[in-house]
Every structure is written in C-alpha cells, then in structure tokens.
Amino acid sequence: MSTTTEDMSASPFAQEDFRERLRELPPSAKLVAKVLEDDAPLSQGQLAETSLLPDRTVRYALNRLEESELVDSRYSFTDARKQVYFLTA
C-alpha cells in the first residue's frame, strides 16, 4: 500500500513538531496517539478497547497527550455524557 504526499500531510504524524513532542512521551501515549490517528474521535473506553490497554493506562496516556497539547477533547454528539478525543494538528 503506497501513500501519497497528500495523505501524509493530513496526518499530524507528518509534522516534525508533533513528532518531537510525542517522542518524549511514554509508549502508552504513543500507542493511543497512533490509534487516534486512524480512528478519531474516540471515547476513553473505545481507546482502551482498540488499543488493548487498561482504562487506567489510557487515562494516563490521554492526560500526558493533553499536557503536551497533542490531543484535545470535546463532548460526544451521540452521548453528551462522554468526551471523545482527537489529535490536534
């Protein structure tokens, strides 16, 4: 499967600044970011299910990603009690 330059530019992973900030984070945060690259927006529970990480580890990873301003959240349109997460560009 080949990717075009256009496909790569759409991903925050293609941005050097994003990659540098992500490089400093633990492996769990990197995995959560990678899952969000493919399937955002996702809730914390969906992230845990997709990444196969425990809820507590996903919560920690999301906190670290938010502190680094790599991930943002909003309330879900389908269930306003839940927040969904997505990568910032």
Residues forming beta bridges with residue 74, ordered by sequence position: 84
Give every residue of the chain whose pLDDT is below 50, as ranges: 1-8
Other Cβ atoms closer than 10 A to 72: 15
What is the pTM for the complete model shown?
A: 0.84
CATH number at residue 17: 1.10.10.10
Residue 1 confidence (pLDDT): 40
Peptide bond into 26 cis (omega under 30): no
Domain count, the chain: 1
Domain that holds residue 28: 5-87
